[in-house]
Amino acid sequence: MYNDKIVQIKPLIKQYVEKNSAPAGLHYHQLSLMRMSFNPYAPTERRKNAHYFLLVAALDTAELVGISEHAKAFLIFAHNVMRNALFELEQKETLKRITQIFDTHYQLGVEKQRIPEIMDVINTFVSENATGNLITYAKKFETPEDMVKEISSSFRLTGGQCIEHAWMYLRWMVRPYPDLNIFDNFSPKQLQIPLTVFIKKVAYCLGLAEKQEADWSDLEKNDRERKAVTRFAAELFPNDPTMADYPFFILGRWIKDEKLSLQLLMNHLQFWQKIHNQIGKPPIIFNTLSKNESTFQKNVRKELEKLQLLFLSEPYPFSLPEQKGAPHYTPDFVLPRCRKKGKIVILEPHGIWTPRQKRMVTIGRQSFPIWTYPTKVDDNELEFVNKLRVFRELYKDMYYLILIVPSAEKERVKKSYPDIYDELYDGADIPKLLFDLKKNVE
């Protein structure tokens, strides 16, 4: 029997999943930055898709690629270079060079050097075990669980999460749109929700997992907890429990570094629902790649690291109303354990503002230059200011925005844009600001 709070949260979860399961999944959403060279939904590409997404599932670990977006982006980049050679054996040298090139633009994981070897293992599995055709291979199994046990052996180099990533792959292959429905001999109701890192956070809040951190060596406990999460979802979606997989992934990634509890989960679901009702789309999305930091951002990062303050760097974009300019805002730093006035702290160091103008002033017989505020601000400044303004209008109940600007710009920003921040600091105050913030860590 569930306690009263679980009973209370189940309708919130049901609504959240229903509204957040429509967008195409993370690994085949057509991002503007990195597009696949083939259509994952085309009937003629089914055989290639089955192989391609097995590679994606095998690479999608923090140790290999850093963040999930990089697994997709890396495979797109590699396929654009190699075309169908991507699926062939003995391509490790080519993949090694591609990994090195990709890593210079997008930071991969600490074990990135293993990517070519793992891809070769997967290609060997498809060639030898599945004789090149995973769709025909899938028809050998009565249930998805039978197939998971078999293909998880091909993920052995990826560590203890291999079974969970095999279940993730089966979800992509079996569920209907927005998943791919390639293995049509299985039913979605036979699937299990993979107990991946972020889903385990949600499971812990719901009392379905003993600990919030995964112990991948304890296969029996992971199996129990995965099935417990699946049973919970099946009570809401009996014909398609893994409909909750991708929404749970988003929710777990959103809350992962906060002080986890059932109440925290409920607060975030209520907030999510409120924002979705206002703008008509999910407030939190994960479809961007990591970017290079400015010098100003690097200075803040160094101070955060020096004080050992937990922070997330450009962790996720917040959706904004389409009619108000930019479609989203990505904060530079989120401090998930730091609270001001009960809200999560965001640090936004922004060093680029409209340059000051030089004017000549004459006093008596002498003329000399002075620097004055600009009479017309740049479009980039207006766009940035508008994003902060709209973000605060929508998200002020949960987030506390601290804007950090160069000393020379502080007074102008304070006078011209008092509504775009909760607190304003100049760059010289960063060490003191962070020292004070550390006192507010939960």
d(CA 288, CA 291): 9
DSSP label at residue 441 = B
Domain assignment present for residue 290? The answer is no
User: Tell me, what amino acid is at 237?
Assistant: F
pLDDT attached to residue 288: 59
Low-confidence ranges of the chain (pLDDT < 70): 1-2, 23-34, 157-160, 287-292, 358-361, 368, 370-371
Same domain, 272 and 386: no
By the 8 A CB rule, do 25 and 179 touch?
yes
| Sign of torsion over alpha carbons 300, 272, 280, 316 | positive
* Three-state SS letters, 214-229: CCCCCHHHHHHHHHHH
Please tell me whether residues 15 and 134 are part of one structural domain: yes
pLDDT value, residue 160: 64
Residue 223 sits in the same domain as residue 174? yes
11 and 126 part of one domain: yes
Residue 403 corresponds to which tokens in the numbers above? Answer: 């804007």
Query: Are both 269 and 235 inside the same structural domain?
Result: yes
**How many domains would you assign to the chain?**
2
Look up the CATH number of the domain holding residue 315. Answer: 3.40.1350
* In a domain? residue 287: no
pLDDT score, position 360? 67
Tell me whether residue 312 is in a domain. yes
- 10 Å CB burial of residue 42 (0-12, 13-18, 19+) is exposed
Q: How far apart are CA 195 and CA 191, in angstroms?
A: 12
Dist CA 337 CA 258 (whole Å): 6
Q: Do 249 and 324 belong to one domain?
A: no
Residue 32 confidence (pLDDT) = 40
Pair (221, 158) in one structural domain: yes
Q: Is residue 365 part of a domain?
A: yes
Residue among 346, 366, 345, 369 at smallest CA distance from 357: 369
In a domain? residue 125: yes
Q: Residue 129 corresponds to which amino acid?
A: N
CB atoms within 10 A of CB 164: 27
Task: Look at the block and give the residue holding tokens 């940035």.
Answer: 384
Alpha-carbon radius of gyration of the chain: 25
Q: What is the DSSP string of 79-141?
A: HHHHGGGGGSSS-HHHHHHHHHHHHHHS---TTGGGHHHHHHHHHHHHHHTSTT-HHHHHTT-
pTM value is: 0.89
* Domain that residue 331 falls in: 295-438
In this structure, are 181 and 323 located in the same domain? no
- Are residues 260 and 169 located together in one domain of the fold? yes
